[in-house]
Structure 1
Amino acid sequence: MNPSTSLLPTGTGAATPREHPLEYDAFRQLCERPYLAYARLRTGDGTRAARSVSRAFADLCAHWSDMLRSACPAAYAWEILNAAVDGEDVNGTVGSPRLPCHLTAAQADAVRLHHHLGLNLQKTAALMGTDDQSVRAVLRSAARTRCTALSCLLDRT
């Protein structure tokens, strides 16, 4: 194995290419806890959440240089995380049925991070790879969508 491409273990078992361990480790330390909390909300299970976050970080590690060259590394990472969490659904491991949701993926993510996990607008925006104003707008549109959906449910009863 070439020394410049050998692998170093990180705290949870994933490997880090030797050419960028500090940046990768810093990113992982910054994002792993909120990623786990988000994945737990999405999957409803700590084990599935940990598995999907481990898969996401393994993918990020494998494509680290692509992520760094992307227009927005945080958005790139967020897409990989969502694909890994979605993979839990595809593999048929989500245990409880979900209610129909009329929110877009961005609206649902912002609501989960900001309202359910209690992250401020800046942290929510940073994790999603967008700006504060976009998160604020998405949250407002989600509130209108949820209110509209709720009023439709109330009208039917």
Structure 2
Amino acid sequence: MTARQTRAARDPLDFLAFRELVSRAYLRYAQARLEAPALAQAAVDAAFADIRRCWPQALSSASAPRAAWRHLRHAVARRLGHEAAPRPWLAGPCGDVALLHRHAGMSLEDIASVMGVSVACVRMLLARADRESAGRVR
């Protein structure tokens, strides 16, 4: 049994299910934000390690996916600051939504689920991103 399999055997089933549900979207996000695929995978792995460490607190929060998303954003930001050149996306939640929708091709419903927010919130963030992008062009 590999170290990863041993660790996975100790992880709670709800965490494993959550990881399975969001891992592909997390990797797409990290790849879009970071230049190197290896950095993106490292960011996602680090995020899941952080999420696992605080999984009970995430579950007791208002939104476990929202709590987990913060860990992913932090892990990606750490790598952006060290080794990767930032891509030309807006920063913050507006940029995240625009990136996931426009670059990764995710539906608004899927984005809401992964980020732990409502579809209405995703629509509002996307509209704000559009306004900010239009303001950058001028």
Q: TM-score, normalised by structure 2?
A: 0.89
Matched, 1:93 2:83: yes
Q: What secondary structure does 1:71 align onto?
A: coil
| 1:65 corresponding residue in structure 2 | 56
Structure 1's unaligned 5+ residue stretches are 1-7, 153-157
Matched, 1:143 2:121: no
| 1:83 corresponding residue in structure 2 | 74
In the alignment, residue 130 of structure 2 is paired with which amino acid? A
Contact 1:73–1:129 (8 Å) recurs in 2: yes
Matched, 1:44 2:31: no
Matched, 1:121 2:112: no
Taking the aligned partners of 1:42 and 1:35, their CA distance within structure 2 comes to 11
Q: What's the offset of the Cα at 1:9? A: 3.7
For residues 17 and 114 of structure 1, do their structure 2 counterparts lie closer, same or farther at Cα, with a shift above 3 Å needed? same
Q: TM-score, normalised by structure 1?
A: 0.79
Task: Give the number of the structure with larger relative contact order, counting CA–CA contacts within 8 Å between residues 6 or more apart.
Answer: 2
Q: What's the offset of the Cα at 1:138? A: 1.0
Structure 2's unaligned 5+ residue stretches are none
The one of 97, 118, 134 aligned to 2:121? 134
In the alignment, residue 128 of structure 1 is paired with which amino acid? M
* Number of equivalences: 136
Contact 1:52–1:88 (8 Å) recurs in 2: yes
For residues 112 and 131 of structure 1, do their structure 2 counterparts lie closer, same or farther at Cα, with a shift above 3 Å needed? same
| 1:22 corresponding residue in structure 2 | 13
Taking the aligned partners of 1:39 and 1:22, their CA distance within structure 2 comes to 24
Q: Which has the higher helix share?
A: 2
Which structure has the larger Rg over C-alpha atoms?
Answer: 1
In the alignment, residue 145 of structure 1 is paired with which amino acid? E
